[in-house]
Amino acid sequence: MVPQTRRSGCPINLTLEQIGDRWSLIVIRDVMFANRRTYGALLEQNEEGIASNILASRLKHLTASGLLTRSPDPNHQQKGIYCLTEAAIQLVPLLAHMAAWGVRHTHPSKEASLPAILLEKGGPSLWSAFMDDLRHLHLGAPRPARSAFDQLRTEDGKAITSWY
Amino acid sequence: MVPQTRRSGCPINLTLEQIGDRWSLIVIRDVMFANRRTYGALLEQNEEGIASNILASRLKHLTASGLLTRSPDPNHQQKGIYCLTEAAIQLVPLLAHMAAWGVRHTHPSKEASLPAILLEKGGPSLWSAFMDDLRHLHLGAPRPARSAFDQLRTEDGKAITSWY
């Protein structure tokens, strides 16, 4: 749930009040980088084995706090499609830094580190291009001339198939 | 406690497993930006009203996971002084991004936003200078020629007294 009272006015505290439980950021990561857009895809493909009740509560929380929107799937009226909001898209630099820190200090698996390493190598200009890709995919903005997805796919000749 | 099993090898997940509860990052924020170095200072001066048992458990967790070290206070043998490790100091860019996002999307108080705004304005070169200040304070590195603390104090003629 969105907290009704703020423990302090500090922007770091308030960011943590909004996204500071690990499962919220895991769900945003899966929507953002792996383009999983339905409850089913988010549940079944999640590498960390998120529980169905936790996923459902986080999707409600993220929707209520303005990080995701939910619209009916045109092909399955009962299913919802989740989209990132502009506020969520602006988490890209934070997630890129989180991933870069993780590569240095948490001994991640090699395969799972590749996107993080490419994101760090590309720096702010690549993050910005990636955010434009996300605005196209999630907010209906025009398709950008230069796609970060393409760039991330073809670096070193390897496809990052788990991404998108 | 440090998780014994990893839910996945993804560096974002592993970072969240290490620092992804909000109180851990609040404690690191207080040590880093307000230079609170003892259990007492961290408990009494915390703006969010951290509970004593939560603070004690997070200090143990952060020490066990290599983000803080604890050494005896030379003036009070029973008290401990906490220092940031190099891994914790490398969280500066992540916290700067978290603060910048919070300023834009969480309606923080004006006073509490000032350090975040100055950090964002200063960008990576200021973060780097700030990290050198922290290496001097916490790791015994030489005092840097240019102090980010001084720069953050004097910008706009205002002292950021809550910082340090």
Task: Please give the ipTM for the structure prediction.
Answer: 0.87
What is d(CA B13, CA B52) in angstroms, rounded to the nearest whole number? 28
Task: Please state which of the ranges B37-46, B79-88, B144-153 shows the lowest mean pLDDT.
Answer: B144-153
pLDDT of residue B157: 53
pLDDT average, residue stretch A23-28: 94
Mean pLDDT of chain B: 87
Strand pairing partners for A82?
A70
Which of A106, A132, A45, A85 minimizes the C-alpha distance to B16? A106
pLDDT average, residue stretch B52-59: 96
pLDDT average, residue stretch A125-138: 94
**Which of A10, A32, A55 would best serve as a mutation to test chain B binding (most B beta carbons within 10 A)?**
A10
- Write out the two tokens for B15: 């970072």
Q: Do A105 and B87 touch (CB under 8 A)?
A: yes
Q: How many CB atoms lie within 10 A of CB A145?
A: 7
A110: nearest CA in chain B? B9
Q: Do B99 and A14 touch (CB under 8 A)?
A: no
E-assigned strand segments in A66-126: 68-72, 80-84
CATH of B11-84, one of 3.30.565.10, 1.10.10.10, 3.40.50.300, 1.10.150.120: 1.10.10.10
pTM of the entire predicted model: 0.89
Q: What residue ranges do the domains of chain B occupy? A: 11-84, 90-157
What is d(CA A20, CA A132) in angstroms, rounded to the nearest whole number? 25
Identify residues of A whose CB sits under 8 angstroms from chain B CBs.
7-18, 20-22, 25-26, 29, 47-49, 66, 87, 90-91, 93-95, 97-109, 111-113, 116
Instruction: Please report, in angstroms and rounded to a whole number, the separation of the first and last CA atoms in chain B.
Output: 29
Q: Do B113 and A11 touch (CB under 8 A)?
A: yes
**Which residues have C-beta within 8 Å of that of residue A77, sequence separation ≥ 6?**
none
CATH of A1-85, one of 2.60.40.1180, 3.90.550.10, 1.20.120.530, 1.10.10.10: 1.10.10.10
B-chain residues within 8 Å CB-CB of A97?
Answer: 93-94, 97
pLDDT of residue A157: 53
Please, which pLDDT band fits residue A36 given cuts at 50, 70 and 90? very high
φ, ψ of residue A25 in degrees (nearest 5): -70, -30
